[in-house]
Amino acid sequence: MNVASVVWFDIPVTDMTRAIAFYEALTGESLIRLPVGDDKETAIIPSAGGGSAGCLFLAPEDQPSHYGSRVYFDATPSMAEWISRAEQAGGKVLVPRTRIGGDMGFYAYLEDTEGNRIGLNTRD
């Protein structure tokens, strides 16, 4: 039996420079700009395990949204620090740190500078 694995994600943006500044502040990592074709651009988000997990994606046909698929970042070791960095970088807290139930930990929802709803997750 095969187990499904997420191998990539795109976060749509309308202003790549602004979005890179937000996500670098949020994650504490440097993103790498990478053009795609003639009218698209990405900024690669590094993965904790090395390599990359996904990217910011600027394309005329894509728009940021609160709806649809949602990306969750591992907010270890401190969700409070991640939320603080997001707010300092121009993000908004939509749902504060909230217990999921059982032993699933906590989540929070943020709005990035582009208008996307993203999630944070941590066990502690």
Domain count, the chain: 1
H-only helix segments in 28-98? 79-88
- Residue 43 is assigned to a structural domain of this protein: yes
Q: Which pair of structure tokens corresponds to residue 44?
A: 């690669």
- Residue 2 is assigned to a structural domain of this protein: no
- Residue 117 is assigned to a structural domain of this protein: yes
Q: Which pair of structure tokens corresponds to residue 55?
A: 């990217």
Q: In this structure, what CATH number is given to the domain that contains residue 14?
A: 3.10.180.10
| Sign, Cα dihedral of 10, 11, 16, 21 | negative
Give percent of the chain with pLDDT exceeding 70. Answer: 94
Q: Which amino acid is at 118?
A: I
- Residue 5 is assigned to a structural domain of this protein: no
- Residue 57 is assigned to a structural domain of this protein: yes
* Three-class DSSP category at 64: coil
Nearest to 111 by CA among 89, 102, 42, 44: 89
- Residue 67 is assigned to a structural domain of this protein: yes
- Residue 78 is assigned to a structural domain of this protein: yes
- Residue 25 is assigned to a structural domain of this protein: yes
Q: Which pair of structure tokens corresponds to residue 117?
A: 């709803």
Q: Has residue 70 got a pLDDT over 80?
A: yes
Q: Contact 57/11 with Cβ under 8 angstroms?
A: yes
Say what the pLDDT of residue 108 is: 98
- Quote the domain boundaries for residue 60: 10-122
H helix or E strand, kind and range, residue 45? strand 40-46
The whole-model pTM stands at: 0.90
Quick: pLDDT tens for 1-47.
Answer: 677 677 789 999 999 999 999 999 999 999 999 988 888 899 999 88
